[in-house]
Amino acid sequence: MRENEKTCCGYVVVIGKPNVGKSTLMNQLLKTNLSIVTRKAQTTRNTILGILTENYYQIVFLDTPGILKPKYELQRFMVSEITSSLREADIILQIMDASDIGKRDTQEGGIDDKELIKDKKLIIVLNKIDLISKEDVLKAISVLNTKFNYENIVPISALNATNIEELKNLIVASLPESHFLYDKETLTDKPEKFFVTEIIRQKILELFHEEIPYSVFVVVREFKERKKGKDYINAEIILERESQKVILLGKKGEKIKKLGRLARKDIERFLGKDVYLELFVKIRKDWRKDKRFIKDNLA
């Protein structure tokens, strides 16, 4: 940072339908894996705050759950996370799947309350351009210009990091003048325990695919740092049905042992230290519909 140079800082909210690449994009911008990414839609449940501080600017990203019409309490919580994030926003990154543009389900992003995005800087991020031809990318941009009159459209591939720097430069140019909101070394406001639960949940989604759907919840009951030996982590995997428990445990506990090994390796990589991880499985019927449970464990 040059002497007397003014600093810029602002909240950048990342929104879009499920599975359009919001978390992958934020991880690319931060150059670290902060949000979990799987092929499943609705992977993100909480808003994940990630902070990028470079030179004279600080970008506070808010990676939100996918926009959807809520059917039960968990999804209503996810929608509330989007709403509260939009209220904080200086800039909105609206992520769209390039291959969807022009289809009849193309919408302005699914935000019904236009007051939430009124007077906000809006940047349309056309993701997954690696999956379509250059001609189709140009057609998609034309559709968005014609149908919605968007001013700022940036075609990218979050997976391949295509045009990520161009997008970042546009964000920086749009930041308001402000002092930094966080210390320069701060990457997120979430505690380590939160990311441990996210890593375990990611491994469950990757290992079990359609066998264990979105009815899985992970909570860390104990997280003990030790001066000597490995840190101790005790985590519960909460499911809705006994049949799901049988699948997750596997024959003679083989599946959950594999899950534990894979999760432990990623947790150790994230924490930068050795851990002893214990996993337990519990059944809580219809927890996704339980308002009290959601409030106590997610809010």
Which parts of the chain register pLDDT below 70? Answer: 1-5, 35-46, 65-72, 102-117, 211, 213-214, 299
Please answer whether residues 46 and 118 qualify as being in contact, where contact means their C-beta atoms are separated by less than 8 angstroms: no
SS3 188: coil
Please report the sign of the dihedral spanned by the C-alpha atoms of residue 248, residue 252, residue 255, residue 258. Answer: positive
In whole angstroms, what is the distance from residue 72 CA to residue 66 CA? Answer: 15
- pLDDT score of 162: 94
CA-CA distances (angstroms) from residue 18 to 40, 69, 227?
9, 11, 42
Find all residues with CB under 8 Å of 55, minimum gap 6, and list them. 1
User: What are the start and end residues of each CATH 3.40.50.300 domain in the chain?
Assistant: 8-174
Give the position of tokens 């591939």.
Answer: 157
pLDDT for the residue numbered 70 = 63
Per-residue model confidence as pLDDT tens digits over 84-125:
787 888 999 999 999 888 664 455 444 555 666 677 888 999
* pLDDT number for residue 48: 82
Domain span(s) for CATH 3.30.300.20 in the chain: 192-297
Question: How much is the pLDDT for 39?
Answer: 53
Beta bridge partner(s), residue 95: 16, 125
Indicate the CATH number for domain 192-297: 3.30.300.20
Q: Domain 8-174 is classified in which CATH homologous superfamily?
A: P-loop containing nucleotide triphosphate hydrolases (3.40.50.300)
Q: What does the pLDDT read at residue 199?
A: 92
Per-residue pLDDT at 112? 56
pTM summary value = 0.79
Q: Are 156 and 127 in contact (CB under 8 A)?
A: yes
